[in-house]
Amino acid sequence: MAPLSHSPLSSLAGKRLLLGVSAGIAAYKSALIVRQLKQAGCEVRVVMTEGAQAFITPLTLQALSGEPVRTSLLDPEAEAGMGHIELARWADAIVIAPATADLIARLVHGMADDLLTTLCLASEAPRLIAPAMNQAMWRHPATQRNVKQLATDGWQLIGPAAGDQACGDVGPGRMSEPDEILEAVSRHFAPPITPSASAPHVVITAGPTREALDPVRYLSNHSSGKMGYALAAEAAAQGARVTLISGPVNLPTPQGVERLNVETAVQMHTAALELAPQAALFIGCAAVADYRAANAAEHKLKKTDDQDTLTLTLVKNPDIIADVAALPDGQRPFVVGFAAETQDIERYAQDKLARKGLDMIVANDVSQQGLGFGSDDNAALLLWRTSDGSDRLVAPPQPKTQLAALIVRHALTHLSLTSSGA
């Protein structure tokens, strides 16, 4: 079985795209974005901020787009017929790449102090944005608040990526590459994928579990479910038939994904063992509670004045990922597990890979600030078994959506190799 592909770029043919370019060294990549959009059959019009013109000339983007480049809100000729309103109505989508921290902040606050921000306020078209900035600026709490608000307001974030930066720093904040931006835009317009009868069935667990202590209290953890949901969305976008076994989270079900809600580890275990034999790939991403109360109280536990301590008796929960990996041949899927660690990441992950009989494991350092539980970003170490031992891949800090794409691609590739006997 070969890995499935993303939606074809044919979904872009005939689309009218407004490309916004703001200041930053990544502005030079906007020329390639315009070229690729044109090659995909789009009509492209470019709007540049004043600062963007210090990095790339309007003439360059005009030559590539075949259309005049707009740079000013107060252009007498263009505004004779309320040109900015017509341009806002013209666009099927607005794509901003690169988007600086300053532009993001102005968009969040609804400012309309230049042509690009005015167009964004005046347009009802879908909006996609590719941030680009220094890693410290990206990590700053103000920027993180702003990008969360953009997402709430309906913007689709593309990236940013992590790596070497023009200033010499290393970290998250690099603008996504033009081909990744093109793929994100094409996915936006692509019709939902209906899995074929031969599409692999992927089962994914996500989120925390809750183990009741009494009718109002429970044991749980800080898992937001974002990583598991990103994996489910990516697998569905790849054309797989996806079932998501979800603990209690406040997240919408990804498009094309069947969702099964559970509360406790025992419920998740039952659902996993029921679905896993039907699956080609099982990804255990849930943060399952290791223990539960031996006997949950029937009524609320009361605090008394003479009681300074409370003793709870806990019993071990079933090991979901190990039990799935132990299924007999013919029922056992390709099994990917997760390891959330705070120290000796690779050693503990290698041990879990071997001890639980997994095919692949994704190890996260949850002690890193801004990564893992509750965050939109994550980093990981991927380990997988080979005929002569194991192999590894280091994934630097990046949005969970991008990390999910990497994990799903690797899992499907190794599933394909395993199925073919390679």
Q: Which residues are catalytic?
A: 167
- Distance in angstroms (rounded) separating the CA atoms of residues 230 and 268: 19
Q: Which residues are annotated as a binding site?
A: 284-286, 290, 300, 318-321, 338, 352, 356
Question: What does DSSP say about strands 377-386 and 360-365: parallel, antiparallel, or unpaired?
Answer: antiparallel
> How many angstroms separate the CA atoms of 114 and 121, rounded?
11
- Cα separation, 308 vs 275, in Å, equals 45
Backbone CA torsion sign across 323, 375, 406, 247: positive
Element (H, E) at 271: helix 265-275
Q: Measuring CA to CA, how many Å separate 338 from each of 158, 351, 362, 409? A: 25, 12, 5, 16
The strand pairing partners of 287, in sequence order, are: 208
Give CA–CA dist 116/129, Å, rounded. 12
Say which residue the tokens 């799935």 belong to: 324
- Distances in Å between the Cα of 19 and the Cα atoms of 26, 195, 294 are 14, 32, 59
Q: With b meaning 16 or more CB within 10 Å and e meaning fewer, what string describes 42-58?
A: bbbbbbbbebbbebbeb
Instruction: Name the residue type at position 301.
Output: L
Task: Please say whether the dihedral angle defined by the alpha carbons of residues 207, 222, 255 and 100, taken in this order, is positive or negative.
Answer: negative
DSSP-derived pairing of the beta strands 281-284 and 16-21: unpaired
Residue 208 tokens, joined: 């925390």
Which helix (H) or strand (E) element contains residue 334?
strand 334-341
Torsion of CA 50, 55, 57, 58, to 10 degrees: -40
Which residues belong to the annotated binding site for CTP?
284-286, 290, 300, 318-321, 338, 352, 356
